[in-house]
Amino acid sequence: MIRTAAMLTLATLALGACSPPAEKAAPGPAGAKTETAGAATPSGAARRPQDGPNGMAPRTRVFRDWMAVCDNVNRCVALTGSGGDGAWLKVEIGPEGDARPTVSFGAADFRDGEAAARPALTVDGSPPGADAVSALGRGRRATITGFGRARPVSLGGAAAAFLWIDEQQRRLGTTTALIRRGDAAPRAVEPARERPRVTPLRISGGGSGDERPVPAALEALPAVKECRVDVPDGQARVWRIGVEKLLWEVPCYRGAYNAGSRLFIAGPDGDDAHPLGLPVARGEPTPFIVNGDFDPESGLLTSFDKVRGVGDCGVARAWAWTGRGFVLTGEAAMEECWGLPSDEWPVLYEAVVE
């Protein structure tokens, strides 16, 4: 998809702090869900997940028409969208004490996949000014103009989403807080964490996923029999990942815009097969990839699971092959179909691929 988004980098936050009361999490449009990890306690203090070997557990909250997400190094984003209207708006801030927020927005035409080259943003009828975050927190409605049409975007829940991010980053009362600023120096903010580092095993001449019939040894596995109910005649895709070791992608289901499959490591004849479970940012490993592909030259496996055909909601993941298994290197998820293109989805987990 071709997309151009306007962006405002806020180098200074000069206007006075806006301190609206925190809002309770409520379902957003289109049946929004609220994650419990990192949710605010009844007293308003944020419950923080424990650090793990790969950083913090990602956290997601929905406040009316806005969603807020913090990833494994505590980089956070608040966002909203107009759904089928194709307009979206988000505020992102890094975990560093002196980080400054970035406001970005865009408008898309889902009929042809194009995005407005020069979208414009107003808040309650006026440009947001130098302190756009405060304007969004105080405002009632934003308007994004693209393709010659004004598209309204709700600001209901924006202030609460900003406040929640300030709590997650322990930025409340500092000069760099999004919504409840004070005189405390940025050094009071919790120190930033480093992203995990992953070195893939890159394989020259591993192939391009040639199709082959599923061998009898694989077909006999219970996991494959269960998987193949919907596509009994589908061909497997195969890549070489070692001496006499192949990665087999066995198709499990096909729909209008999603094709799911399972991965196995086995020999050329499907012997000595081992099913793969792929780690994810939250919860148990998944046995499936959706619309997936593997590139032996980079050692990276990808999956892109769409909730609907236009691809403005779903889950996108990437893993690196290490020679012993696949390690998660990135996950972005958009639970609500609010019109955001996939490269603007909030990140739940990200590692540095070396």
pLDDT in tens, 235-283: 999 999 998 899 999 999 999 999 999 999 999 999 999 999 999 999 9
Domain final residue pick, 153, 188, 223: 188
pLDDT band at 287 (very low <50, low <70, confident <90, very high): very high
117 found inside a domain: yes
Cα 84-87-88 angle, rounded to 5 deg:
115
Cα 207-209-214 angle, rounded to 5 deg:
120
Do 61 and 147 lie in one domain? The reply is yes
Instruction: Decide which of 300 and 20 is more confident.
Output: 300
Structure confidence at residue 243 (pLDDT): 87
1 found inside a domain: no
Rounded Cα distance between 354 and 348, Å, is 20
Sheet containing 149-154, strands listed edge to edge, beginning at the edge strand earlier in sequence? 120-123, 141-146, 149-154
Do 163 and 201 lie in one domain? The reply is no
pLDDT at 137 over 60: yes
Do 62 and 180 lie in one domain? The reply is yes
64 found inside a domain: yes
Structure confidence at residue 27 (pLDDT): 30
Instruction: Decide which of 132 and 148 is more confident.
Output: 132
- Burial bucket for residue 170 (CB in 10 Å: 0-12, 13-18, 19+): middle
pLDDT at 176 over 80: yes
Do 276 and 346 lie in one domain? The reply is yes
Q: Which segment, 3-17, 43-57, 190-204, 261-275, is predicted with the most confidence on average?
A: 261-275
54 found inside a domain: yes
Do 183 and 201 lie in one domain? The reply is no
333: Cα separation from own chain's centroid:
3
> What token pair was written down for 196?
């995990």
Residue 293 is inside which H or E element, if any? strand 293-295
Do 245 and 181 lie in one domain? The reply is no
Structure confidence at residue 167 (pLDDT): 95
pLDDT at 142 over 90: yes
Average pLDDT of the residues in 160-175 = 96
Average pLDDT of the residues in 308-314 = 92
Residue pLDDT, tens place only, 40-74: 322 233 333 445 556 789 999 999 999 999 999 99
DSSP code string of 217-283 = HHHTSHHHHHHTTS-TTPPEEEEEEETTEEEEEEEEEE-SS-EEEEEEEE-TTS-S-EE--B--SSS
What is the overall mean pLDDT for the chain? 84
Decide the pairing of beta strands 149-154 and 197-198.
unpaired
Domain final residue pick, 170, 188, 206: 188
The answer to whether 141 and 153 have CB atoms below 8 angstroms apart is: yes
The count of domains in the chain is: 2
Do 115 and 213 lie in one domain? The reply is no
pLDDT band at 9 (very low <50, low <70, confident <90, very high): very low
Structure confidence at residue 84 (pLDDT): 72
Q: Which residues contact 235 (CB under 8 A, 6 or more apart)?
A: 211, 212, 213, 214, 251
Average pLDDT of the residues in 179-201 = 88
Do 125 and 43 lie in one domain? The reply is yes
pLDDT at 18 over 60: no
pLDDT at 306 over 60: yes
Of 4-8, 152-156, 178-182, which range is least confident? 4-8
Decide the pairing of beta strands 149-154 and 314-321.
unpaired
Helix/strand/coil for 213: coil
**Which domain covers residue 245, as residue numbers?**
197-353
Torsion sign, CA atoms 207, 208, 209, 215? negative
Do 182 and 205 lie in one domain? The reply is no
Do 84 and 143 lie in one domain? The reply is yes
Structure confidence at residue 191 (pLDDT): 78
Do 224 and 340 lie in one domain? The reply is yes
Rounded Cα distance between 55 and 330, Å, is 13
62 found inside a domain: yes
Structure confidence at residue 49 (pLDDT): 40
Instruction: Decide which of 148 and 321 is more confident.
Output: 321
Rounded Cα distance between 68 and 162, Å, is 8
User: Across the strands, what pairs with 327?
Assistant: 320
Rounded Cα distance between 271 and 216, Å, is 9
Predicted model pTM = 0.83
Helix/strand/coil for 211: strand
Residue pLDDT, tens place only, 32-41: 333 333 333 2
Do 135 and 153 lie in one domain? The reply is yes
Rounded Cα distance between 87 and 146, Å, is 8
Residue 168 is inside which H or E element, if any? helix 158-168
Average pLDDT of the residues in 287-316 = 96
Domain final residue pick, 188, 223, 258: 188
pLDDT at 17 over 80: no
Structure confidence at residue 52 (pLDDT): 57
Long-range contacts made by residues 214-221, C-beta under 8 angstroms, separation at least 24?
214/248, 214/250, 214/270, 215/266, 215/269, 215/270, 216/270, 217/266, 217/269, 217/270, 217/271, 217/273, 218/248, 218/250, 218/264, 218/266, 218/270, 218/273, 219/270, 221/264, 221/273, 221/275
pLDDT band at 22 (very low <50, low <70, confident <90, very high): very low
239 found inside a domain: yes
Quick one: CA torsion of 159, 165, 166, 168, rounded to 10 degrees? Answer: 150
Structure confidence at residue 237 (pLDDT): 97
pLDDT at 311 over 50: yes
CATH of the domain at 105: 2.60.40
79 found inside a domain: yes
pLDDT band at 302 (very low <50, low <70, confident <90, very high): very high
pLDDT at 290 over 60: yes
